[in-house]
Amino acid sequence: MQDTTIKNLVILGGGTAGWMTAALMSKVLGKVVNITLVESDQIGTVGVGEATIPPIVNFNQALGLDEKEFLKQTKGSIKLGIQFENWSRQGEHYMHAFGSIGKNFPFCDFHHFWLRNREQGGADSYWDYSLNYQAAMNNKFAPLANIPNTNLPGISYAYHFDAGLYARYLRRVAEGRGVKRIEGKVCDVRQNSDTGFIENLLLESGQVVEGDLFVDCSGFVGLLIEKAVGSEYESWQQWLPCDRAMAVPSCSPERIPPYTRSIAHACGWQWQIPLQHRTGNGLVYSSEHWSDEQAHEVLFGNLPGEALSEPRIIPFRTGHRREQWCKNVVSLGLASGFLEPLESTSIHLVQSAATRLVKCFPHRGIRQEEVAEFNRQSRVEMERIRDFIILHYKANQRRDSDFWRQCEDMSVPDSLREKMELFRSTGKVFRDYDDLFTEIAWQQVMIGQGILPQDHHVIADGLNEGQMKDLMGSLKTLIQGTVEQLPPHEAYLSHN
Ligand code: FAD
In whole angstroms, what is the distance from residue 245 CA to residue 263 CA? Answer: 14
Ligand 1, atom 6: nearest CA belongs to which residue?
A: 13
Identify the three-state secondary structure at position 44. Answer: coil
Closest by Cα among 24, 116, 110 to 357 = 24
Identify the three-state secondary structure at position 228. Answer: helix
In whole angstroms, what is the distance from residue 127 CA to residue 32 CA? Answer: 49
AA letter at 160? H
Task: Ligand 1, residue 345: give the atom nearest the CA.
Answer: 25
Let me know: does 158 contact 97? Beta carbons within 8 Å.
no
In whole angstroms, what is the distance from residue 49 CA to residue 111 CA? Answer: 32
Residue 389: enclosing H or E segment and its boundaries? helix 368-394
Ligand 1, atom 45: nearest CA belongs to which residue?
A: 346
Task: Ligand 1, residue 347: give the atom nearest the CA.
Answer: 25
How far does Cα 140 stand from its chain's mean position?
Answer: 23
Select from 11, 12, 16, 243 the residue to mutate for testing ligand 1; criterion: most ligand atoms less than 8 Å from CB: 16
Select from 59, 166, 218, 348 the residue to mutate for testing ligand 1; criterion: most ligand atoms less than 8 Å from CB: 218
In whole angstroms, what is the distance from residue 74 CA to residue 56 CA? Answer: 14
In whole angstroms, what is the distance from residue 429 CA to residue 246 CA? Answer: 35
| Bridge partners, 233 (sequence order) | 321
AA letter at 462? G
Q: What's 20's DSSP letter? A: H
Burial class (CB in 10 A: 0-12, 13-18, 19+), 64: exposed
CB atoms within 10 A of CB 1: 3
pLDDT at 496: 63
- What's the alpha-carbon Rg for the chain, to the nearest Å? 23
Ligand 1, atom 14: nearest CA belongs to which residue?
A: 218
Burial class (CB in 10 A: 0-12, 13-18, 19+), 111: buried
Q: Give the global pTM.
A: 0.97
How, if at all, do strands 213-216 and 8-12 pair? parallel
pLDDT at 1: 59
Task: Ligand 1, residue 282: give the atom nearest the CA.
Answer: 34
CB atoms within 10 A of CB 106: 5
Q: CA angle 5-20-29, nearest 5°?
A: 30
Ligand 1, atom 43: nearest CA belongs to which residue?
A: 49
Task: Ligand 1, residue 333: give the atom nearest the CA.
Answer: 52
Task: Ligand 1, residue 50: give the atom nearest the CA.
Answer: 28
Closest by Cα among 425, 439, 463 to 111 = 439
Let me know: does 245 contact 313? Beta carbons within 8 Å.
yes
Catalytic residue check, 327? no
CA-CA-CA-CA torsion sign (140, 144, 147, 152): positive
Task: Ligand 1, residue 247: give the atom nearest the CA.
Answer: 34
How far does Cα 225 stand from its chain's mean position?
Answer: 22
Cα(379) to ligand 1 centroid in Å equals 20
Cα(269) to ligand 1 centroid in Å equals 21
Cα(290) to ligand 1 centroid in Å equals 24
Residue of 7, 68, 79, 419 with catalytic role: 79
Select from 334, 342, 389, 436 the residue to mutate for testing ligand 1; criterion: most ligand atoms less than 8 Å from CB: 334
Cα(219) to ligand 1 centroid in Å equals 5
CB atoms within 10 A of CB 470: 12
In whole angstroms, what is the distance from residue 304 CA to residue 145 CA? Answer: 33
Identify the three-state secondary structure at position 341. Answer: helix
Select from 37, 41, 48 the residue to mutate for testing ligand 1; criterion: most ligand atoms less than 8 Å from CB: 48
**Helix axes of 368-394 and 414-426: crossing angle, nearest 10 degrees:** 50
Longest dimension (CA), the chain: 79
Identify the three-state secondary structure at position 418. Answer: helix
In whole angstroms, what is the distance from residue 308 CA to residue 278 CA? Answer: 9
Cα(39) to ligand 1 centroid in Å equals 12
Ligand 1, atom 9: nearest CA belongs to which residue?
A: 14
Residues with CB under 6 A from ligand 1: 12-18, 38-40, 43-46, 48-52, 163, 185-186, 217-219, 221, 223, 245, 247, 282, 314, 316, 333-335, 341, 344, 346-347
Q: Which CATH class is domain 8-50+162-237+318-366?
A: alpha beta
How far CA 355 is from CA of 24, 27, 240, 338, 350, in Å, comes to 8, 12, 27, 18, 8
| Bridge partners, 149 (sequence order) | none
pLDDT per residue, tens digit, the chain (496 aa), is: 577 889 999 999 999 999 999 999 999 999 999 999 999 999 999 988 799 999 999 999 999 999 999 999 999 999 999 999 999 999 999 999 999 999 989 899 999 999 999 999 999 999 999 999 999 999 999 999 999 999 999 999 999 999 999 999 999 999 999 999 999 999 999 999 999 999 999 999 999 999 999 999 999 999 999 999 999 999 999 999 999 999 999 998 788 999 999 999 999 999 999 999 999 999 999 999 999 999 999 999 999 999 999 999 999 999 999 999 999 999 999 999 999 999 999 999 999 999 999 999 999 999 999 999 999 999 999 999 999 999 999 999 998 999 999 999 999 999 999 999 999 999 999 998 889 999 999 999 999 999 999 999 999 999 999 999 999 999 999 999 999 999 999 999 987 6
AA letter at 154? G
Cα(388) to ligand 1 centroid in Å equals 22
In whole angstroms, what is the distance from residue 334 CA to residue 59 CA? Answer: 19
Identify the three-state secondary structure at position 216. Answer: strand
In whole angstroms, what is the distance from residue 340 CA to residue 173 CA? Answer: 29
In whole angstroms, what is the distance from residue 73 CA to residue 68 CA? Answer: 9
Let me know: does 280 contact 262? Beta carbons within 8 Å.
no
In whole angstroms, what is the distance from residue 378 CA to residue 371 CA? Answer: 11
